[in-house]
Structure 1
Amino acid sequence: MVDKRRKEDLTEDLRQRLAKYYHKRLNHAPISPLMPDMDEKLDKFYVPPKIFEKNHRKIGAAEKEKGTPVTSYRHLICKTSKFGDHVFIVGEAGMGKSSCATMCALKWANQFSPTNTINEQDENYSNLRSFESAKLERIIQSNSVFKQNFRPKTELDDQFQDDTFFQKVEFLFHLTLRDCCHLCDLTDIIQDQLINTIYQDDEKSAALCTLRSVLYNKKCVIIVDGLDEWTHPNETNYRCSEKDKVIPHLAPNIDATVLITSRPWRMSQQRVKDTSIDTYMEIEGTTDMLFLLHKTINSLNETVTENKTLPDFLRFIRNMKIEHLLSVPIISMLLVCLWFDGEHESSSLCGIYAYTIEMFVRKPLPMPTVSLKTISFPQCFKDKEHAHTYYSVIMELAQLAFTTLFSNDQTSSLVFKKVDVMAHDHLVFVLKSGILQETKAASLIKKSSSYSFIHKTVQEFLAALYMSHRTEEFYRVFKPYYENNTDSADVSQVFIFLCGLNIELANEMSVMISDRPSHSKEQIPPEVRTIFSGYVEAQDNCIKVSDIKLLLYRFDYLMFGNSELLNDLLLINKSKVRFIHACSETNETTLREVFICSTDTLTNVWMCEQTGKYDLSACNCLQDLCIVGSEVTDIVVNTKCLVSLDLTNVSERVQYSMLQSLQRESVNFKEFRIEIITNMNLFYQTLPRLKHLEKLNIIIADLSDKAFPLLPASLTDVYLYQVKMTAPSLINLIERLEKKQS
């Protein structure tokens, strides 16, 4: 009886020691991916993961399986309601595997704590967007990526709310495999990592007996975090089967649930037998990124006197056009830290991606063989010491990014099989870092894998980095690729990165982009947005203005908000402009220079409330002219090639000048729109002389004093709005038009 009570006491003592140890040692995580010493209580910024259960036999199939959402701890750990299964949670770097594993241990330990350390910090999902809700909702609704990624709170209310499940788990052992490559038996690893830590030397013998009893007789869960960081020991005294060399093993007569986290590349390179996987799950980030951002910012606000807000952070993300990076939790937290630290005030896209590369290669990883030759890294890599250390690895990875992205076979540009440009130890290094991902391919006859980068934009940044150093590859590979893929090649992001990495090459690339015919129906063609964004990136990377010679033919001041930057680009391209939509914010001096220098290229001119006098007499290719407002006081135009003209509420002098010019020459003139006629006699004289006019729009005019003028024989369409005229004149006009159409 005494022995039984003693055994029960020792068992309960082990449970209490484990719970206390988890609360003290596990409830923290780095809040800054670049500064591990800057940590925070995990429960203060933890958000449940987005997990899907999938059929592991179909992993790598051509059609990606969607899977079944996992929304409870019971489903995660013990779906079948019995203990003894092998559960695998697989996910890429920074998706939250370790945080999820740690939180399971804390949830279990929490039931034995006198104070509920986790639930005190939890926020109710029903209040998810109560903080600064009006500002926040406006920003989310203004951005399609935000609307898609930030899910409504009603979808999240029941995510992982079943903490009571852990009452069924009598013991939970949380293990990390990073530091135990000298062991392969899970019982030994528990002894090494837990028993040897929570017991004194004179207590360990009894504790081991208790451990064995617990493992054989209690409902146990063993969480094994980081299979990708473990390799089987090489010592000859380990007589393990090939199966047991792939994953740490447990004695077959121990019925404990073993939950293992891993990266996909590890599951591909050292494959676990299908029969050893009872449940296979993939983690794809967090259930609610908005909530994670909110918690992270709140936690960081505790370190400053002036609080920062989530809406301001989302504006930064939107302005930098990096919304897509918020899909990866660890990159999201990096972006919050960069923004919070003020780095965003001087940050460029290249700088953000350089920080991202630095974050992945700074992890404790096995040192690959690296080249010692010195190299000139771009400005954005300044002070990135780990990137400099692993320069040769990063450049091999950049070469891989370049060769795959601009492959003639576009089906394998993002997901590919060939990685032979990388040395084997370098390949292992980047796989372990998380920048490159490996997934096993479904095949019954051979072992093969497919690879991809953590995000397409990371691949594009590295491809641009490679091109910036190996400029000959621009001509050998990129230029033919771009010319041969006229419809499908979207190189805008690579170009933007190149503007910050190698402006000379970007200048050449801008010619190719601007010369390609655009079939877009957008108000601002994509190539215009691309060149504009590239100019901004060049400025953000402190490129000298005199070195920026980006080619742009089209300038629309009404569509772009930043007229100062547009004026800069206009000055650079003043002799090459084809289309300009000027307004009051257009630099008047530069605009005059454009009319002098772009005489052989300018075809479209719109001037909206633009002040000043202008001479377009040398613009011998001008086809479309629109003048809105009376601010233009005088104008001279070459109407030889003019096809359409719009005069909206212009000054009397401008209207007179244009009508006179049309009388002299209008051989190609087909469309005329005029609003508020100030010189009726001259208008009546001019109209019959427009021998090729097809469409006429008259807005706001009094034609009641005179009969409607003679119309050119070519005229087919007349549009009148707020025009006063006599009934006979209107009837006569209709009859003449009907006669033309019959």
Structure 2
Amino acid sequence: MLGALMIHYDRTLSHFPSSPLNDWCHARLDDVYMPPYMLLMEKDKGSFKKTETQITKYQNVLNQQTFIQGEAGSGKSSFLAKLVMDWCGIAKTTQTREPVMIQETNYAESDTRAKKSTFFDDLTSLKNFKFVFYITLRDSVKVFEILQMIREQLIDEIYSSQEDREKAYRLVNEIMKHERCLVLLDGLDEWKSPDDRHHLPTLVAIHTQCDLVITTRPWKLAEAKIPDSKVETLLHLEGVNEPFDVSLRILRCREDCTNSEDVKKKHSAFVSYVYRNNLCDLLASPMLLTLIVQTWAEGTELKGNKCQIYSLLLESLFKKANSEEDHFHKTPYPCLKETRYIKPNIEHFNRFSEAAFHLLFSEKKENSLVFGIEQLTQYKLYERKDFALRTGILSATRKASTLRSSSSFSFVHKSVQEFLAAYYIACNCHVIDEVIPGYLKRHDNSYRDMYEVLIFLCGLNISAANELSILMNNADCDCPHYLDFHDGFQELILDGYKEAVANEQDGICLALSHFDIDDENIKDLYNIWASNPSVVRSFKMEITEKYTRFDDENTESPKPDKHNSTTESSKIATRIEFDLSSCDELTRLYIINNASWGILIKGNLYIDFYFPQPDVFILVSDALVNNCITY
């Protein structure tokens, strides 16, 4: 069984597409993989707080129950795949008693060699596990027993006859009772419990020798009602640790990079291109990094917004099935203006978008990501199934069954489904009032699963995004917060604001009730503030002397506050003003301003300290008093 399992992993996890634009172009995981930038989270008053402690060894990951959280495309799945392949190497060596050999790509010259990483090189830490079971949770929706998942995803894939499978079922059960095993559960955010009692996939009581590593998006961990006692270790995966080293490895895998001097020149040009177009923030995501490298190498330059990137990805997929070209002569969506292969396939594009939306916001959440023929028929995709599979927009997985063969379907990546759903909302704004409120009522905290949709919508249709942000902001305000002022919703609004600006959208009025202002975000939050005073519930500002003033070189001044007509634009460069006079919903106020430049908090704000609102408090520094705070 051990040998068969390692063969299975070698076939399914050792290679992966080296370009999001070409499913046929694969590379060995070892050739392009670089370790992630992963940080330890520590418990703090009932929640978890990110630390500066970087995780660089497997021994710090492999505890009784470890959670790894990270946003879409941050490299959670590839990290688990690399862990599995490292275990296969050490397990095979242990069986054959041969010395450990770590494969390394031979490069022509040392000066262009990608740096050999010392991160996660403690392979002997994996030696303690007799078996490693890798499970993708999206393929086991409504199954809560981990043993059952192993049966369906591994045993049924490895063995063909029912007799062999039955023997293997019994053997796995005995192994998990007596041997130390590692179970990897990938994608908790893509899993749905079959009932209200199970918030996590479970091991039966006798499988005490098993350790768990579970990956998820951050919102799911907050929503899943998991007690602190169940989280032995929480790690936050930021993305790629050394993105330019990864880009060098990707370029080396291309056929048009024939020698080391060629690669060196191309990589230098790529680095300049990234800095020139402010794409550094996107490089943390392995998926987007690969897309940016490959599109640049093919001659297409990106300008730094997500909608453009996903439009390019989709038109590249469409090109596989239909290479007919045509341009949009007039389109309200800036990201589609330069595309060539979407317009000839616009009917497919519209149907895929409609299905993506209705599946994502369906009543049965278990069908939102992985669905069957019934859903394809219901959303009029069955007749387009072959086209969708040829393009790679949909992927199909055969279900193991002794009675009949069947397939389950999913979009190539959840973020692609979210972009398509956002496009459908942009074209059909009425669904914001007709469909989404019901979805928010049916599923607790489901607004957190809409974060990426809102960001895409900000780049496509800012009016619709403004309206959707109101619903989501209201839902956020109705949820208990574990942090003093916000639980991540502000970061969503900031990302949406930046996406709208990148797509040259006018009329940005995204809703936000909880403001947490610091040195880094004050410029953008000042602009977002303009449309929100009437709904603001908490206002926190903590500015230090280190902050760069608005009038410094190469720093744009924020726009004047639309709610304060007396603000002189000439003074904005050296002073900004927050008018609290219309903040009727304000219940929490916290201000520290140690900057020497002008920040004015003004307004006829009346606070009765004897009124039963215990959250109202003010901390005012001397510098703020000197800068004229009035109530």
Following superposition, the deviation at residue 261 of structure 1 comes to: 0.5
For residues 459-489 of structure 1, what are the alpha-carbon distances to aligned partners after superposition, in whole Å with 9 as ceiling and x for unaligned? 4223565845xxxx37999xxxxxxxxx964
Equivalent residue in structure 2 for 1:194, among 146, 154, 157: 154
Q: Give the aligned partner of residue 333 of structure 2.
A: 377
Q: Give the aligned partner of residue 180 of structure 1.
A: 140
Aligned residue-pair number: 409
Q: Give the aligned partner of residue 47 of structure 1.
A: 34
Contact 1:395 1:466 in 2 (8 A): no
In the alignment, structure 1 residue 98 sits paired with structure 2 residue 71: no
Following superposition, the deviation at residue 260 of structure 1 comes to: 0.6
Following superposition, the deviation at residue 221 of structure 1 comes to: 0.4
**Alignment TM-score, normalising by the size of structure 1:** 0.47
Runs of 5+ unmatched residues, structure 2: 318-329, 354-418, 428-435, 457-471, 512-520, 529-548, 560-631
Give distance in 2, aligned partners of 1:318 and 1:106.
34
**Alignment TM-score, normalising by the size of structure 2:** 0.54
Q: Give the aligned partner of residue 460 of structure 1.
A: 498
Q: Give the aligned partner of residue 342 of structure 1.
A: 299
Secondary structure class of the residue paired with 2:239: strand
Q: Give the aligned partner of residue 30 of structure 1.
A: 17
Contact 1:58 1:442 in 2 (8 A): no
Following superposition, the deviation at residue 65 of structure 1 comes to: 3.1
Q: Give the aligned partner of residue 262 of structure 1.
A: 216
Decide whether aligned partners of structure 1 residues 488 and 262 sit closer, same or farther in structure 2, where only a CA change above 3 A counts: closer
For residues 142-170 of structure 1, what are the alpha-carbon distances to aligned partners after superposition, in whole Å with 9 as ceiling and x for unaligned? xxxxxxxxxxx7xx854211112222111
Secondary structure class of the residue paired with 1:183: coil
Following superposition, the deviation at residue 329 of structure 1 comes to: 2.8
Q: Give the aligned partner of residue 451 of structure 1.
A: 489
Equivalent residue in structure 2 for 1:323, among 280, 303, 314: 280
Give distance in 2, aligned partners of 1:476 and 1:229.
28
In the alignment, structure 1 residue 71 sits paired with structure 2 residue 56: yes
What is the 5 A alignment of 1:93-132? Answer: 93-113=72-92, 119-121=102-104, 130-131=111-112
Equivalent residue in structure 2 for 1:291, among 245, 251, 256: 245
Following superposition, the deviation at residue 30 of structure 1 comes to: 2.3
Following superposition, the deviation at residue 269 of structure 1 comes to: 2.2
Give distance in 1, aligned partners of 2:158 and 2:510.
62
Q: Give the aligned partner of residue 233 of structure 1.
A: 194
Counterpart residue type for residue 220 of structure 1:
C
Decide whether aligned partners of structure 1 residues 431 and 349 sit closer, same or farther in structure 2, where only a CA change above 3 A counts: closer
Following superposition, the deviation at residue 319 of structure 1 comes to: 2.2
Q: Give the aligned partner of residue 580 of structure 1.
A: none
Give distance in 2, aligned partners of 1:361 and 1:493.
34
Following superposition, the deviation at residue 47 of structure 1 comes to: 0.7
Equivalent residue in structure 2 for 1:223, among 184, 188, 195: 184
Secondary structure class of the residue paired with 1:68: strand
Decide whether aligned partners of structure 1 residues 118 and 432 sit closer, same or farther in structure 2, where only a CA change above 3 A counts: farther
Counterpart residue type for residue 274 of structure 1:
D
Contact 1:387 1:394 in 2 (8 A): no
Decide whether aligned partners of structure 1 residues 46 and 491 sit closer, same or farther in structure 2, where only a CA change above 3 A counts: same
Contact 1:26 1:102 in 2 (8 A): yes
What is the 5 A alignment of 1:272-283? Answer: 272-283=226-237
Contact 1:268 1:449 in 2 (8 A): no
Decide whether aligned partners of structure 1 residues 525 and 460 sit closer, same or farther in structure 2, where only a CA change above 3 A counts: closer
Give distance in 2, aligned partners of 1:111 and 1:218.
17
Following superposition, the deviation at residue 22 of structure 1 comes to: 0.8
Contact 2:2 2:131 in 1 (8 A): yes
Following superposition, the deviation at residue 313 of structure 1 comes to: 0.6
Q: Cα RMSD (Å) of the superposition?
A: 4.9
Contact 1:92 1:434 in 2 (8 A): no
Equivalent residue in structure 1 for 2:173, among 212, 215, 239: 212
Give distance in 1, aligned partners of 2:7 and 2:14.
11
Give distance in 2, aligned partners of 1:442 and 1:222.
32
Counterpart residue type for residue 204 of structure 1:
R
In the alignment, structure 1 residue 251 sits paired with structure 2 residue 204: yes
Decide whether aligned partners of structure 1 residues 453 and 475 sit closer, same or farther in structure 2, where only a CA change above 3 A counts: closer
Secondary structure class of the residue paired with 2:103: coil
Following superposition, the deviation at residue 105 of structure 1 comes to: 0.8
Give distance in 1, aligned partners of 2:44 and 2:289.
32
Contact 2:481 2:487 in 1 (8 A): no
Q: Give the aligned partner of residue 629 of structure 2.
A: none
Secondary structure class of the residue paired with 1:300: coil
What is the 5 A alignment of 1:140-151? Answer: none
Give distance in 2, aligned partners of 1:450 and 1:387.
32
Q: Give the aligned partner of residue 66 of structure 2.
A: 87
Contact 2:240 2:283 in 1 (8 A): no
Contact 2:90 2:100 in 1 (8 A): no
Equivalent residue in structure 2 for 1:161, among 101, 112, 121: 121
Following superposition, the deviation at residue 192 of structure 1 comes to: 0.5
Secondary structure class of the residue paired with 1:271: coil
Contact 1:354 1:380 in 2 (8 A): no
Structure 1 or 2, whichever has the larger Rg, is 1
Equivalent residue in structure 2 for 1:271, among 225, 236, 243: 225
Counterpart residue type for residue 461 of structure 1:
E
Secondary structure class of the residue paired with 1:178: helix
Decide whether aligned partners of structure 1 residues 270 and 421 sit closer, same or farther in structure 2, where only a CA change above 3 A counts: same
Contact 1:98 1:225 in 2 (8 A): yes
Counterpart residue type for residue 229 of structure 1:
E
Contact 1:52 1:283 in 2 (8 A): yes
Give distance in 2, aligned partners of 1:117 and 1:491.
53
Give distance in 2, aligned partners of 1:75 and 1:475.
44
Secondary structure class of the residue paired with 2:111: coil
Contact 2:42 2:234 in 1 (8 A): yes
* Higher deviation after alignment, 300-309 or 330-339: 300-309
Give distance in 2, aligned partners of 1:329 and 1:449.
25
Contact 1:18 1:109 in 2 (8 A): no
Give distance in 2, aligned partners of 1:35 and 1:58.
47
Counterpart residue type for residue 165 of structure 2:
K
Give distance in 1, aligned partners of 2:38 and 2:297.
29
Following superposition, the deviation at residue 326 of structure 1 comes to: 2.3
Decide whether aligned partners of structure 1 residues 38 and 272 sit closer, same or farther in structure 2, where only a CA change above 3 A counts: farther
* Higher deviation after alignment, 443-452 or 98-107: 443-452
Give distance in 2, aligned partners of 1:381 and 1:353.
12
Secondary structure class of the residue paired with 1:50: strand
For residues 576-615 of structure 1, what are the alpha-carbon distances to aligned partners after superposition, in whole Å with 9 as ceiling and x for unaligned? xxxxxxxxxxxxxxxxxxxxxxxxxxxxxxxxxxxxxxxx
> Greater RCO between the two (CA within 8 Å, min separation 6)?
2
What is the 5 A alignment of 1:334-483? Answer: 334-344=291-301, 347-349=302-304, 353-356=307-310, 376-378=332-334, 379-380=336-337, 382=339, 383=341, 390=353, 393-394=421-422, 424=440, 427=447, 430-431=450-451, 443=481, 449-451=487-489, 459-462=497-500, 465=503, 467-468=505-506, 473=507
Secondary structure class of the residue paired with 1:211: helix
Give distance in 1, aligned partners of 2:185 and 2:47.
24
Counterpart residue type for residue 9 of structure 2:
Y
